[in-house]
């Protein structure tokens, strides 16, 4: 009969694994017990029959991640807890606050590792080893309320920002076009609206007149929102009463801005990529922290050897009265004590 011809490896069927044959049922292809037994002859018959039955009728569901809308920008890392104030900045001892917060978490039997605490975003940022869960947030929120004694205080995770606008709002409150609409009037209309629960403002609204001679304006609003833009989606397309006029809410282009480094206080890069040798004071740009300005900087500590002697600034009452080098820091109205 002769030597048999060689096997063509290009057309030789590949041996399938047990899992790949079993998953054929998920693709609505028939899988018999014989096929499963052929790829797994070492398994008992009961196990093969059970596997064939369990895979039958299954469907592969591909999880699609919900994209971030073009009117929403993602926030910073969620492995941190932000503490912000509605009013002026409230100073505290960072090391002592962090130690007591860890003790409060331990007493509540909550496992959350607090790494460090620093000033950021007009308040404080507590970096964590993992994303905090709601139980740990409630413990830290209650402790922060007790320490800072502030009713309107935010303690939570960073959120994304959505951008919307309200168009064709009357720019003047009188027919003579002499009194411009005030920001308080706009915020009051948002608070009285049936949609007020979605207006979680990240900053004060900004009024922009449509043209130099126009009697209408557009109000740009930044909202604290989720990455999917849930609050903005609930508002876009709706209408709101502004005085006697019905105004439409539309999506707006994101205004991401330029980052400012909180180490050297220069624009154009975040703190993580700063190449400065050390931290700088945003008030005088000296080589010290912001909370050390009043007793380290020459403009506040005074000079007893001068003629006449220069007394130190009474910072306990007025704070540093000198003009800050960083205009952004000066606009926050921090009291450096």
Tens of pLDDT, residue by residue over 57-87, are 454 455 556 677 888 887 777 889 988 876 6
Q: 238 and 178, same structural domain?
A: yes
Full domain range(s) for residue 308: 271-331
What's the angle, vertex CA 204, arms to CA 200 and CA 207, rounded to 5?
Answer: 120
φ and ψ at 238, to 5 degrees?
A: -85, 170
Helix (H) or strand (E) run with residue 155 in it: strand 153-156
Last residue of a domain, one of 251, 283, 310: 251
Q: 47 and 87, same structural domain?
A: no
Say if 62 falls within a structural domain.
Answer: no
Say if 118 falls within a structural domain.
Answer: yes
Q: 108 and 43, same structural domain?
A: no
Task: Report the CATH number that the domain containing residue 177 is assigned in CATH.
Answer: 3.30.70.330
pLDDT for residue 51: 62
Say if 310 falls within a structural domain.
Answer: yes
Q: 139 and 189, same structural domain?
A: no
Of 165, 182, 162, 180, the C-alpha closest to 240 is: 165
Question: CA-to-CA distance for 40 and 160, rounded, in angstroms?
Answer: 50
Say if 5 falls within a structural domain.
Answer: no
Q: What is the DSSP track for 23-67?
A: GGGGGT----HHHHHHH-TTS-HHHHHHHHHHHTT----PPPPPP
Say if 105 falls within a structural domain.
Answer: yes
pLDDT for residue 160: 86
Tens of pLDDT, residue by residue over 190-208, are 989 999 888 888 788 899 9
Task: Report the CATH number that the domain containing residue 135 is assigned in CATH.
Answer: 3.30.70
Tens of pLDDT, residue by residue over 142-181, are 888 888 876 557 888 888 889 999 999 999 988 877 889 8
pLDDT for residue 32: 65
Count of domains observed in the chain: 4
Say if 336 falls within a structural domain.
Answer: no
What's the angle, vertex CA 61, arms to CA 60 and CA 65, rounded to 5?
Answer: 145
Looking at residues 265-286, what average pLDDT do you find? 84
């Amino acid at each position: 009969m002769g030597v048999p011809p060689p096997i063509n490896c290009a057309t030789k069927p590949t041996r399938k694994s047990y899992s790949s044959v079993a998953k054929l049922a998920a693709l609505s292809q028939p899988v018999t017990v014989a096929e499963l037994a052929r790829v797994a002859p070492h398994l008992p018959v009961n196990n093969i029959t059970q596997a064939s039955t369990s895979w039958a009728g299954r469907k592969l569901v591909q999880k699609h991640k919900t994209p971030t809308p073009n009117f929403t920008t993602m926030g910073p890392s969620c492995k941190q807890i932000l503490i912000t104030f509605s009013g002026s900045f409230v100073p505290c001892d960072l090391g002592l606050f962090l130690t007591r917060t860890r003790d409060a978490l331990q007493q509540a039997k909550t496992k959350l590792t607090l790494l460090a605490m620093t000033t950021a975003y007009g308040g404080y940022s507590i970096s964590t080893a993992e994303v905090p869960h709601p139980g740990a947030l409630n413990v830290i929120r209650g402790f922060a309320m007790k320490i800072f004694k502030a009713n309107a205080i935010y303690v939570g995770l960073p959120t994304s920002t959505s951008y919307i606008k309200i168009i064709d709002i009357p720019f003047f409150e009188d027919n003579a076009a002499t009194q411009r609409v005030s920001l308080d009037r706009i915020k009051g209309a948002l608070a009285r609206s049936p949609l007020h629960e979605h207006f979680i403002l990240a900053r004060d609204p900004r009024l922009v007149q449509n043209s130099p001679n126009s009697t209408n304006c557009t109000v740009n609003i930044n909202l604290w929102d989720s990455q999917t833009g849930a609050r903005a989606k609930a508002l876009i397309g709706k209408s709101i009463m502004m005085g006697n006029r019905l105004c439409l809410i539309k999506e707006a282009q994101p205004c991401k801005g330029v980052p400012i480094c909180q180490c050297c206080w220069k624009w154009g890069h975040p703190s993580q990529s700063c190449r400065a040798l050390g931290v700088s004071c945003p008030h005088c740009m000296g080589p010290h922290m912001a909370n050390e300005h009043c007793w380290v900087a020459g403009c506040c500590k005074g000079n007893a050897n001068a003629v006449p002697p220069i007394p130190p600034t009474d910072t306990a009452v007025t704070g540093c009265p000198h003009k800050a080098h960083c205009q952004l820091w000066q606009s926050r109205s921090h009291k450096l004590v």
